[in-house]
A and B are shown apart, each in its own frame.
Chain A
Amino acid sequence: MKKILLVIRREYSTRVRKKSFWILTILLPILIAIVYATPVYLAQKPITTATVLVVDETEIFTHAFQSNKEVAYKRAGSLDYAKRQLEMDSANLIVFIPSRETTIPNDAFLYYRTDVPGSNVQSDIKQQLNTILHNVILEDVLNISPDDYESLTHTTIALHPKDIETGRDGFLEVKMILGIILAVIIYVAIFMFGGQVMQGVSEEKHSRIVEVMLCSLKPFQLMMGKVVGIGLVGLTQFALWVALSGAGLFAIKAANPTLFEQAEQRQNVTQIATKGTDMTTQLETAKMANDAIPNSQAFVLTQGLVAINFKLIIPLFLIYFLFGYLLYASLFAACGSLVDQGSDGQQFTLPVTIPLLLSLMLIPAMINEPGGTVATWLSIIPFTSPIAMMFRLPFGVSILEVAVSIALLILTFILCTWMAANIYKRGVLLFGKQISYRDIFRWFKRG
């Protein structure tokens, strides 16, 4: 036992003291933050306004265009005049709506010269054209006031999936996102740290230190020491990431406190809206509510996260990470012991990585049916359960299923570690020989 602890300590301390460990630990959250912050930052940047000349031969659109930050609409009398303006660079684009024999025009043209219109400008023009056209039809043909119509479109009925037993909201989308994130974290962690185990073992074999080590301790002690030591490195990295993201979230909250207040605000407005008896006032307040809260997605997210049973998910995440990692890491260790020069390990790693890849690839199938046959079986079968169960957990899984899945996982972990240790103790001392599956099979036949 003392020797295993020594091995664990060495594996842990040499890795944690490496520069690359800290670079990854600090850089990864920063990179993720940059990826998310860049679009937000760019959206806040002042934009150059495009000047668009509207040449409307139908006389329907001319006055109804509304200029905004991105596009300034100006009226032009004729296409020729507009073209001259474009050539003189006093305008960027021309929207030309030719007259037609039909009352409702089907086509409009956007002329450009040097400034190719971006998708934002294009979609603004398209949207304005359509809104104006719809309003004209509503007013002139259908006799509905456009204001009434707008409040109508803002009046939506929300579908709330509710658990019949608890009566609580389902927040299925939030759960799905959380499930995918958890599953991917487990997948990445097993691959990353399992890979480190394999690399460590093959390095020990390659540098021949293994023979020096094995005259002091048992192969199993050396293998498990490495597996556990690297696992602890993984947990340390997780803990640091959680701490760093926590600090980051706190900083965002301090910088932008309105983000969370808006969520509360919306709740109040909705309550007022539903209390109103008059249909018209209700419509108006509903519209108000929607205008006031542009950030309703963030609201659903925070509400959804509150609804999820983290007290159960976090310990289960740790259990599945731990045993999933241990199961795969010992198999990776066995693979590492069979590789002599680093490059020819493919044939051994492939069977180990296939179940991992498979469970990741089947997530779309599980999204369709979180409680379906595929998801259920994948979350029971030990090799795929760490990933599949993590995906399913936010939706709620029966205790019995979780218990069976964990029991099977632990049982398989013990069996695989025993197998891996048997392969490891022979493989690690075999030098200069290509090991085949037949050799491994023979080792087991002889016991």
Chain B
Amino acid sequence: MLRVEHITKNFGSYRALNDVTLEVRQGSIFGLLGPNGAGKTTLIRIINHITQADSGAIRLDDKPLTDEDTLKIGYMPEERGLYKKMKVGEQAIYLAQLKGLSRKDAEQRLKQWFGRFEIESWWNRKVEELSKGMQQKVQFIVTVVHEPKLLIFDEPFSGFDPVNATLLKNEILRLRENGATVIFSTHNMASVEEICDDIALINKSQLVLSGSVKEIRRSFAQDRYQIEGHLSKETLILPQGFELEQMSQEQGSKEFSAIVRIHEGLEVNDLLLQLLPQCKITHFQEILPSMNEIFIRSVQNDKI
């Protein structure tokens, strides 16, 4: 749906993005990851047509991005901002009109959203009277009210309490159900595992990793397996090539739990063949690294 092709952007002598290429599939939730200062916000601004790239292209539905396309995008920046002195309802209508909605449409849809979030009573209050969390809700509504095909959230969960963060997460998932494609940048790796289909990791202006979360986790897998079962002898003995990283067994009991790493050249079935005569397996699972581990490993590898 969205293709970022060889984007390069310099600020003076500093290169903020270097030849970044990635693709966001229609209807997916795409996580844009990277440490602070990696260039995520710059890339998001380029996709939003706020900043222009020095070279490369952004293609939306196989057509180069134009000014008109900004109407199809909803963007919630990391640093939220609203006019403090304006009334909430009036401001929401204004921002929705800038996204191409008619006044009447905007008002009708906003009333619906305010109803969903149970914040109708805020309509005539000034933004400065709202708490930060309340402002975030308003900000979210004005981001999505024009029903954009592409939603971009920069650190959407920062500043939300757990209740509202869950509310927000469910809303994002619901918008995806309704056909929207979502890009969000975050540091929260748990939320990435939970809701992202694909990710891209940017570090020091370079794209270091991209693909589906499943594939990436698999590719980072280190052939480690979690085994639980009932031993038929006193203890578990594995030949060379299998490394027993962890073994826990209650005293006097034959129930055990172990983590085994398979060295190169051996297969998972070889492990099973070794295990079968020794125990009754109740649980067997490959251990996939968490996104957190992958993130830290990729960023640290990059440093070396």
Stretch at the interface among A131-139, A209-217, A373-381: A209-217
Q: Is B77 a contact of A208 with CB atoms below 8 Å?
A: yes
Q: Measured between alpha carbons, how far is A211 from B143 in the docked complex, in Å?
A: 12
Chain A positions 1-25 with a Cβ under 8 Å from a chain B Cβ = 3, 6-7, 10, 14
Specify which chain B residues have a CB less than 8 angstroms from the CB of A7 in the assembled complex: 98
Least distance between B239 CB and chain A CB atoms (Å): 59
Q: Is the CB of B98 within 8 A of A208?
A: no
A442 at interface, CB cutoff 8 A = yes
Chain A residue nearest in CB terms to B82: A209
A207 part of interface (Cβ distance < 8 Å): yes
The residues of A that contact B49 with a CB separation of less than 8 Å are 215
Q: Which has the most chain A C-beta neighbours within 10 Å: B67, B73, B85, B94?
A: B94
Interface residue? B79 (CB, 8 A): yes
Is the CB–CB distance between A211 and B81 below 8 Å? yes
Is A429 part of the binding interface, using a Cβ–Cβ cutoff of 8 Å? yes
Q: Chain B's nearest CB lies how many Å from the CB of A441?
A: 11
Residue of A nearest to B94 (CB): A10
Contact of B86 with A215 in the complex, beta carbons under 8 Å: no
| Contact call A429/B51, Cβ cutoff below 8 A | yes
Number of A interface residues, CB 8 Å? 22
Asked if A212 and B99 make an inter-chain contact with CB atoms under 8 angstroms apart, the answer reads no
Contact A212 B94 (CB under 8 A): no
Provide the residues of chain A in CB contact with B50, threshold 8 Å: 211, 214-215, 429
Nearest chain B residue, comparing its CB with the CB of A431: B79
Does B277 reach chain A (CB closer than 8 Å)?
no
B81, A210: Cβ atoms closer than 8 Å: yes
For the complex, what is the distance from the CA of A3 to the CA of B84, rounded to whole Å?
Answer: 21
The answer to whether B298 has its CB under 8 Å from any CB of chain A is: no
Q: Are A213 and B98 in contact (CB under 8 A)?
A: yes
Chain A residue numbers with a CB within 8 Å of B12 are 439, 442
By the criterion CB–CB under 8 Å, are B81 and A207 in contact? yes
Q: Mark A303-321, 1 if CB is under 8 A from B, else 0.
A: 0000000000000000000
Give residues 190-226 of A contacting B (CB, 8 Å): 204, 207-218
Kindly report which residue of chain A lies nearest to residue B98, judged by CB atoms: A216
Note all chain B residues with C-beta closer than 8 A to A214: 48, 50
Q: Counting chain B CB atoms within 10 Å of each CB, which of A3, A215, A442 scores highest?
A: A215
Residue of B nearest to A7 (CB): B98
Do A207 and B84 contact each other (CB < 8 Å), given the known contacts A6-B94, A215-B48? Answer: yes
> Given the complex, which residues of B lie within 8 Å of A6, measured CB to CB?
94, 97-98
CB distance from A174 to the nearest CB of B (A): 44
Contact A14 B77, beta carbon cutoff 8 Å: no
| Chain B residues within 8 Å of A208, by CB | 77, 79-81
Nearest opposing residue in chain A for B99, CB measure: A216
Interface set of A (CB-CB < 8 Å, partner B):
3, 6-7, 10, 14, 204, 207-218, 429, 431, 439, 442
Instruction: Give 7 A-B contacts (CB < 8 Å), ordered by A residue.
Output: A204-B83, A209-B82, A211-B75, A212-B76, A212-B81, A215-B70, A429-B51
User: Top 5 closest A-B pairs, CB basis?
Assistant: A208-B81, A209-B81, A216-B98, A215-B75, A208-B79
* Seed contacts A14-B86, A208-B79, A208-B81; 9 additional CB < 8 Å A-B pairs: A3-B98, A14-B83, A207-B84, A211-B45, A211-B50, A211-B75, A215-B70, A215-B77, A216-B98
